[in-house]
């Protein structure tokens, strides 16, 4: 049987506010345990929450960026459950009336394929603290620094059908929140976390299968692996005559598998009700317009501009606009060299390969955008050829602080374009290889092209790679033709 | 040492004594601490009494302000806070074993403002646990006695505050009112107590029972005293999102206005079955006084009154069940001995830390919010709440104020209702709707049944505290109920 997976994602984005969503305590990551939790975060008796206006503005900006309807009235509710790192015994969240209503995103999967994913809603809520089970000799330590950190939970419709689509969606969300500057998007520090709802059904069936929720997957790679595992698990289960049980599962990256955490029957009744300590958040149109005007160019807009103004392909444009840092780098390279295609090729090719190899982010590239732009300039103005350019790039990567021109000069890589000099080398090569010249003369016309490659190689070698390949080809062809006469 | 007759003066009279240098704040403070020392063991109105050193230091600072001419009308006057207002460095128990060891690192805004005005804090008064109760019998720290009759309850939940003021242990105290907790004990103890409009007084640092209903207010002998206190207590607080950003009038400025043409509505639902004959008679007398002051009287209807208690006992417990979840034994408050695991820690800490009435309301509230019951209970109760609110708004289209009994009976005997929670809930039949509507109301003494005082309730439209205080003050200009003091035989 042909199976179709149905996937919806809940993405938790930590908002980059200075202070917490309902208190003035700092949100900085990595402080000593419980030093960034004030009386409100600790849930002491008598304290009251006050909404952080910054968090509201960030949520609205996100909503505007994903074509959502912004709610002019949204309501904070209490989600009640007991847990040691949940100080008040409830999480303040939004349920029936979230701040961001339905929206959508178009993803570019490859040169030919785009994917439309609908967003169900996004809501504001506070994060809980952390329970630390190690280092406390059988007891549990509670760190409440994270308690009250603002989160935006973005809930998609079940519109995705493969792990690849889910990852593309997650990357698009990541790009948007980092472009907007509303989150640092740092998945390793938990600034972005993802729950995936996965079900399978026979292809062509319209009703949904029973879903499982995979909790807290913290990297693009793990999202892909966890979803693929879960799809396979459900298909095998059904094909063996079993039945998928609605449950929450955890992904174990070490074993690359998901494991049952709790079933629906064991699920909490959260007893949601409107938080009586907070008034509904009421926004007027002018405020929403004001935030709309502050939006930066978004990934999809940048992508369109790269295609229409710079002539890039859809795929190149989507790769280069996926992160603001990469797009900025590319645009700076382009500013220096003034050739978008060459800039795109270098950034997506040589530079990305090196970054991947060394496990570096674009921000940490040892070759600056100016250095790379200048290098490309030297290719375009024929100062160096492509082969020498790779050598210059390798040197730029390894030794910081030099310019491309300095390396070209120091390593003598300046391209020889002087026809007299090249002719002299050609003459020398032809004189040294009389046997090959005779073979060339005797060969069939259609074989000569291939034999010519031998002479080009010899000439380039003799010039230590600096001879202009076009000039070599032209002059050599002329010389050999003359010998035939 | 100041004489009893001086100590039994009203807040306003004591203020005059301080301002005319008849006595100092230190002298007054010393005398009242001595009186508390002597009388409190019989009344149990205080859970914690301020240590002499700290109280006298505040009094000395107040005397300095008075001497330098930098005093406010409240500078140097002693008061007590209901033990549900957080006091920095001073235990705040909420009448519960759960918070027996809780010392807040901050002051409630009300505490802060009254301290800034120069008042001297003499201690924390007894209350029903977490403000849940109508007799003060639900306190972990023991029952409070009504100074007018030691066999009677003082009312609740602000019973300690009411008893402390009635017995002149302090000339004023703060209270909180979620369903009648300022007004009913004020009525039972023969003092004046005001529940302001919801949002008029900051709730910051006032430990929550039912957040959408809780409101702090003043308790003292007279309406004039309450006006001076409310001047300092009311006003916007950025730390409380439900506090209203609206100018605070001078509540003293309008006290003297005459009541010519005042339209008083008597809700017919407040004079029906279950109203004690003595209370009905006292009200009739009071109405006559108002007529003589130039007011006109008419009957009005608040048709959803009978739904107030059921709606309240869904909404208040629902909010309470969530508000009291933080008492889990993890970070502060009572923690059971040697918990076996997390669930044991939760269960035993809460089982041991909370009293029966608190547990009852947590269970009711949890049930009302549960999946499958929410629409039938919580949502329905909120709909009723809007109807009740509309009842009041409709009535205030016709009349200026509403009047009726504060409680259906005078103070009942200790132990009379402890076996029957529903009978106890019915004690709040005339006060609860006011909290659901969010409007202000006060209770003032207007008669007695034997030795036990009777309260008249005056209800106003939103933010009309000034009118309520004016209406009460004018009554107190021509009557003496508020000047009566209980005979204390010890």
Instruction: Choose from A22, A44, A46, A281 for mutation: most chain B CBs within 10 A.
Output: A46
- The answer to whether the beta carbons of residues B118 and B67 sit under 8 Å apart is no
Mean pLDDT of A156-167: 97
Q: Does B21 touch chain A (CB under 8 A)?
A: no
CA distance B267 to B187: 19
Q: CA dist A211 to A95, A221, A250, Å?
A: 21, 21, 14
- The answer to whether the beta carbons of residues B357 and B421 sit under 8 Å apart is yes
What pLDDT band is residue A481 in, cutting at 50, 70 and 90?
Answer: confident
Q: What percentage of chain B has pLDDT greater than the value 70?
A: 100
Answer whether residue B164 shows pLDDT above 90: yes
Total structural domains within chain B = 1
Contact between A90 and B371 using a beta-carbon 8 Å cutoff = no
**pLDDT score at A133:** 85
Considering only the beta carbons, identify the residue of B104, B106, B369 that sits closest to A273. B369
Instruction: Choose from B199, B321, B325 for mutation: most chain A CBs within 10 A.
Output: B325
Length of chain B: 490
**pLDDT score at A479:** 85
Mean pLDDT of A216-230: 92
Mean pLDDT of A292-303: 94
B181 in active site: yes
Considering only the beta carbons, identify the residue of A43, A82, A278 that sits closest to B241. A278
**pLDDT score at B475:** 98
- Please give the CATH architecture assigned to the domain spanning A419-484: Orthogonal Bundle (1.10)
**pLDDT score at A423:** 86
Q: What is the pLDDT of residues A71-81, one digit of tens each?
A: 999 999 999 99
CA distance B315 to B211: 10
Chain B residues lying within 8 Å of A277, measured CB to CB: 208, 211, 241-242
Answer whether residue B136 shows pLDDT above 90: yes
**pLDDT score at A265:** 63
**pLDDT score at A266:** 66
CA distance B108 to B216: 11
Which structural domain, as residue segments, surrounds residue B40?
4-256
Higher-confidence residue of A238 and A436: namely A238
Domain boundaries along the sequence of chain A:
3-288, 297-411, 419-484
Q: Tokens 């374009």 map to which residue?
A: A417
Contact between B241 and A49 using a beta-carbon 8 Å cutoff = yes
Q: Is residue B230 domain-resident?
A: yes
- Rounded to a whole number, what is the distance in Å from the CA of A297 to chain B's nearest CA? 35
Q: What is the pLDDT of residues B251-286, one digit of tens each?
A: 999 999 999 999 999 999 999 888 999 999 999 999
**pLDDT score at B412:** 96
Q: Which of A324, A330, A271 is nearest to A95 (CA)?
A: A271
- Rounded to a whole number, what is the distance in Å from the CA of B58 to chain A's nearest CA? 24
Average pLDDT, chain A: 92
> Which helix (H) or strand (E) segment is B231 a member of?
helix B223-233
B82 in active site: yes
Answer whether residue A469 shows pLDDT above 90: no
Average pLDDT, chain B: 97
CATH number where B40 lies: 3.90.1300.10
Q: Does A264 touch chain B (CB under 8 A)?
A: no
Chain A residues lying within 8 Å of B240, measured CB to CB: 48, 50
**pLDDT score at B158:** 98
Mean pLDDT of A290-300: 95
The Cβ of residue B274 has, within 10 Å, a number of other Cβ atoms equal to: 9
Q: Does B88 touch chain A (CB under 8 A)?
A: no
**pLDDT score at A386:** 83
**pLDDT score at A417:** 75
Q: What is the pLDDT of residues A235-291, one digit of tens each?
A: 999 999 999 999 999 999 888 889 998 776 667 899 999 999 999 999 999 999 999
Q: Is residue B10 domain-resident?
A: yes
CA distance A73 to B40: 51
What pLDDT band is residue B141 in, cutting at 50, 70 and 90?
Answer: very high
Contact between B322 and A142 using a beta-carbon 8 Å cutoff = no
- The answer to whether the beta carbons of residues B446 and B286 sit under 8 Å apart is yes
Mean pLDDT of B140-158: 97
* Residues 6 or more apart in contact with residue B460 via CB below 8 angstroms: B396, B400, B401, B402, B439, B440, B441, B467, B468
**pLDDT score at A477:** 86
Mean pLDDT of B81-105: 98
Q: Does A90 touch chain B (CB under 8 A)?
A: yes
**pLDDT score at B121:** 98
Mean pLDDT of A316-343: 94
* Residues 6 or more apart in contact with residue A65 via CB below 8 angstroms: A176, A179, A180, A295, A298
Which tokens hold the place of B436? 């659901």
Q: What is the pLDDT of residues B339-366, one digit of tens each?
A: 999 999 999 999 999 999 999 999 999 9
Answer whether residue A111 shows pLDDT above 80: no
Q: Which of B96, B135, B181, B443 is catalytic?
A: B181
Chain B residues lying within 8 Å of A44, measured CB to CB: 104-106, 326, 331-332
Q: Which of B10, B157, B158, B222 is catalytic?
A: B157
Instruction: Choose from B241, B335, B349, B363 for mutation: most chain A CBs within 10 A.
Output: B241
- Range with the largest mean pLDDT of A135-149, B361-375, B412-426: B361-375
Mean pLDDT of B474-486: 98
**pLDDT score at A84:** 93
- The answer to whether the beta carbons of residues B79 and B174 sit under 8 Å apart is yes
Q: Which of A72, A67, A133 is nearest to A98 (CA)?
A: A72
**pLDDT score at A264:** 65
What pLDDT band is residue B295 in, cutting at 50, 70 and 90?
Answer: very high
- The residues in B 208-247 lying below 8 A from A, measured between CB atoms, are 208, 210-212, 238-242
What pLDDT band is residue B299 in, cutting at 50, 70 and 90?
Answer: very high
What pLDDT band is residue A439 in, cutting at 50, 70 and 90?
Answer: confident
């Amino acid at each position: 049987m042909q199976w179709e997976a149905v996937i919806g994602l809940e993405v938790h984005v930590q908002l980059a506010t200075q202070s917490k969503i309902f208190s003035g305590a700092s949100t900085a990551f990595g402080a000593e345990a419980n030093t960034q939790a004030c009386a409100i975060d600790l849930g002491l008796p008598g304290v009251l929450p006050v909404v952080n206006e910054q968090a509201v503005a960030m949520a609205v900006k996100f909503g505007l960026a994903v074509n959502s309807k912004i709610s002019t009235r949204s309501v904070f509710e209490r989600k009640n459950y007991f847990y040691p790192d949940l100080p008040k015994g409830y999480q303040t969240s939004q349920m029936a009336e979230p701040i961001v209503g339905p929206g959508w995103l178009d993803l570019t999967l490859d040169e030919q394929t785009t994917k439309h994913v609908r967003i169900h809603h996004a809501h504001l809520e506070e994060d809980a603290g952390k329970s630390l089970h190690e280092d406390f000799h059988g007891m549990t330590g509670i760190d409440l620094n994270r308690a009250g950190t603002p989160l935006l939970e973005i809930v998609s419709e079940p519109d995705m059908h493969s792990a690849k689509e889910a990852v593309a969606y997650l990357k698009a969300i990541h790009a948007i929140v980092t472009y907007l500057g509303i989150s640092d998007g740092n998945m390793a520090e938990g600034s972005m976390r993802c729950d995936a709802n996965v079900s399978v059904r026979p292809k062509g069936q319209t009703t949904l299968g029973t879903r499982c929720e995979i909790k807290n997957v913290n990297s693009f790679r793990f999202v892909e692996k966890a979803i693929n595992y879960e799809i396979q698990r459900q298909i095998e289960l059904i094909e063996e005559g079993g039945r998928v049980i609605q449950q929450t599962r955890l992904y174990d990256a070490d074993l690359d598998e998901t494991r049952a955490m709790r079933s629906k029957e064991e699920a909490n009744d959260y007893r949601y009700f409107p938080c009586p300590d907070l008034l509904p958040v009421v926004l007027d149109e002018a405020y929403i317009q004001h935030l709309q005007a502050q939006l930066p160019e978004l990934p999809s807009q940048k992508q369109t501009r790269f295609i229409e103004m710079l002539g890039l392909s859809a795929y190149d444009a989507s790769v280069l606009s996926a992160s603001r840092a990469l797009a900025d780098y590319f645009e700076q390279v382009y500013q220096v060299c003034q050739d978008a295609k060459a800039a795109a090729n270098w950034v997506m090719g040589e530079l990305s390969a090196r970054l991947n190899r060394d496990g570096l982010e674009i921000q940490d590239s040892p070759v600056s955008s100016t250095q790379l732009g200048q290098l490309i300039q030297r290719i375009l103005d024929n100062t160096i050829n492509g082969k020498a350019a790779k050598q210059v790039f390798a040197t730029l990567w390894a030794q910081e602080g030099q310019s491309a021109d300095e390396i070209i000069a120091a390593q003598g890589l300046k391209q020889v374009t002087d026809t007299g000099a090249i002719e002299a080398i050609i003459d020398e090569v032809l004189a040294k290889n009389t046997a090959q010249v005779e073979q060339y003369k005797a060969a069939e016309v259609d074989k000569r092209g291939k034999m010519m490659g031998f002479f080009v190689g010899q000439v380039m070698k003799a010039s230590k790679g600096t001879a202009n390949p076009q000039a070599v080809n032209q002059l050599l062809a002329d010389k050999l033709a003359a010998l035939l006469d | 040492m100041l004489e009893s007759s001086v100590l039994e003066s009203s807040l306003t009279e004591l203020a005059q004594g301080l301002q005319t240098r008849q006595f100092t704040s230190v002298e007054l403070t010393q005398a009242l601490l001595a009186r508390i020392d002597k009388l409190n063991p019989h009344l149990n109105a205080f859970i914690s009494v301020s240590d002499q050193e700290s109280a006298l230091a505040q009094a000395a600072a107040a005397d300095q302000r008075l001497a330098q001419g930098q005093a406010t009308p409240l500078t140097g006057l002693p008061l007590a806070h209901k033990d549900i207002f957080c006091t920095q460095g001073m235990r705040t128990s909420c009448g519960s074993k759960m918070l027996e060891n809780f010392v807040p690192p901050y002051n409630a805004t009300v505490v802060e403002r009254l301290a800034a005005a120069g008042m001297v804090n003499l201690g924390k008064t007894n209350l029903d646990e977490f403000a849940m109760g109508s007799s003060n019998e639900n306190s972990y720290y023991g029952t409070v006695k009504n100074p007018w009759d030691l066999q009677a309850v003082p009312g609740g939940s602000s019973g300690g505050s009411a008893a402390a003021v009635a017995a002149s242990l302090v000339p004023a105290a703060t209270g909180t009112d979620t369903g009648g907790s300022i007004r009913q004990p004020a009525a039972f103890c023969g003092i004046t107590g005001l529940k302001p409009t919801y949002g008029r007084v900051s709730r910051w640092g006032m430990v929550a029972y039912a957040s959408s209903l809780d409101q702090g207010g003043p308790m003292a002998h007279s309406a004039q005293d309450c006006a001076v206190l409310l001047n300092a207590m009311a006003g916007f607080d950025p730390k409380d999102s439900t506090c209203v950003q609206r100018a605070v009038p001078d509540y003293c400025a309008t006290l003297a206005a005459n009541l010519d043409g005042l339209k008083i509505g008597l809700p017919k639902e407040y004079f029906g079955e279950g109203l004690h004959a003595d209370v009905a008679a006292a009200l009739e007398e009071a109405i006559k006084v108002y007529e003589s002051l130039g007011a006109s009287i008419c009957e009005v209807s608040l048709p959803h009154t009978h739904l107030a208690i059921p709606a309240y006992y869904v909404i208040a417990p629902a909010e309470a069940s969530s508000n009291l979840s933080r008492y889990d034994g993890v970070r502060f408050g009572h923690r059971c001995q040697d918990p076996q695991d997390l669930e044991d820690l939760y269960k035993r800490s809460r089982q041991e830390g909370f009293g029966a009435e608190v547990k009852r309301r947590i269970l009711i509230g949890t049930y009302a919010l549960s999946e499958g019951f929410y629409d039938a209970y919580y949502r329905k109760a909120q709909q009723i709440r809007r109807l009740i609110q509309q009842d009041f708004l409709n009535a205030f289209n016709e009349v200026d104020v509403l009047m009726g009994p504060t409680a259906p009976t005078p103070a009942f005997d200790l132990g009379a209702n402890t076996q029957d929670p529903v009978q106890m809930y019915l004690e709040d039949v005339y006060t609860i709707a006011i909290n659901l509507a969010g409007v202000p109301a006060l209770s003032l003494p207007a008669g007695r049944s034997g030795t036990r005082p009777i309260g008249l309730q005056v209800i106003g439209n939103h933010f009309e505290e000034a009118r309520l205080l004016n209406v009460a003050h004018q009554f107190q200009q021509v009557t003496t109920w508020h000047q009566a003091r209980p005979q204390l035989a010890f």
